[in-house]
Amino acid sequence: MKKQVFSFDKSYIETFARGINSTYTQNAYQIMLSVLDEAMQNICALRPVVTDYECQIINECLNNAETQNSSLDIFMSIKSPQLELGTIKFNHSYFKKFVNRLKLAWNSANQNKQKKRWWKKKKQEQNQKTTNDITPSKYNFQTFKRELMQELAKRFTDRTMLYISNYGIVLLCNEDLGMNVNLFIGFSNGEKFTLFDEIKLKLIYVEFKDREKNLENKKVRTNNNFVVALRIFNGLYRNIYLKPLNQILLESVLYNCPDELFEDQPYDMFIKLLNFINASAMQTFNSITDEQKTINQDNLITQSAIYDFVTFLKYLAKFL
């Protein structure tokens, strides 16, 4: 993992501890909610299969622990059993279609030129018959994301670039909105959510469950120094690796640290927390979303994120 040349002292840590003004983040979030509402109204009018949706902030912006380079990460949960079913059917049939395409390609390569020309003409005729009309049974997650991206693009200037990501849509809208936005999209099943991994072509089941309740309890018990610790670790990680830290992982790790470690001033608190975490078996820590799970059992925390975080902690320990 590539990192920047780095050193820190007490003043450096205290700078991160103070945080930044979250007013811009909250304004950006309210604008995005308004834009999403307009876009979804148009989609719901066209596709009655989409019945309702909800949004929530899921990264460091939720705790006012963002850095100057933080994006606004929003989780958008859609209530649409039919859309979810269409995605499941697409997922189940994908590999069968893929094998069939391989067979067709192999057979075509061994046909003579006349047959190849006939096949090309036939495919062109089939493509001409294709329309933009999509039957509800074939409406899936990929189609929804494309339509939502098109609707969002109408509501931003040419200075904003949008593209489809693995789990949703990315909006590079720093000039229009003041910060970039990562929109994660999943299906809602009560407290549980389903994400579709377009790279691995599989459904992932996640839940935020007790996250907000546990966060609020920890903030109260530590006199909000828990948030100060989040700011410090986020700021350091972002400045060293130029990318965000998995927030569910960081919250989980700090949630498992004893409350008394949060009692000192920012620099001393940070040193104590760093020493405690490095001396602990982090894989045994409970997840912030569900204390019945370890961080290794939470689908919101990837193994690569854990590995990067452990590497980050070892790197910081060199400066102590």
Instruction: State residue 30's pLDDT score.
Output: 97
Q: Are strands 181-189 and 72-79 parallel, antiparallel or unpaired?
A: parallel
pLDDT at 4 over 70: no
Say if residues 22 and 72 touch (Cβ distance below 8 Å).
no
Highest mean pLDDT (candidates 24-38, 103-117, 180-194) = 24-38
pLDDT digits (tens, 9 = 90+) for 242-264: 999 999 999 999 999 999 999 99
Q: Where are the domains of the chain?
A: 21-207, 210-317
258-275: average pLDDT: 95
Instruction: State residue 181's pLDDT score.
Output: 97
Instruction: State residue 302's pLDDT score.
Output: 93
Residue 85, both tokens:
């079913």
**Nearest alpha carbon to residue 263 among 223, 296, 303:** 223
Lowest-confidence segment of 29-33, 76-80, 139-143, 292-296 by average pLDDT: 139-143
DSSP state of 178: S
pLDDT digits (tens, 9 = 90+) for 146-172: 999 999 999 999 999 999 999 999 999
| CA quadruple 168, 174, 178, 179: dihedral, nearest 10 | 40
Say if residues 77 and 54 touch (Cβ distance below 8 Å).
yes
pLDDT at 103 over 70: no
Residue 80 CA to residue 90 CA, distance in Å, equals 15
Please provide the average confidence, as pLDDT, over all residues in the chain. Answer: 85
The count of other CB atoms within 10 Å of the CB of residue 43 is 17
How large is the angle between the packed helices 225-241 and 211-221, nearest 10 degrees? 110
The count of other CB atoms within 10 Å of the CB of residue 18 is 10
Instruction: State residue 96's pLDDT score.
Output: 52
The count of other CB atoms within 10 Å of the CB of residue 46 is 12
**Nearest alpha carbon to residue 313 among 252, 225, 253, 231:** 253
In order, the DSSP letters of 233-298 are HHHHHHHHHSS---HHHHHHHHHTS-GGGGSS-HHHHHHHHHHHHHTS-GGGPBPSS-TTSBGGG-
* pLDDT band at 1; cut points 50, 70, 90: low
Q: Which CATH number fits domain 21-207: 3.40.50, 3.30.460, 3.30.1370, 1.20.58?
A: 3.30.460
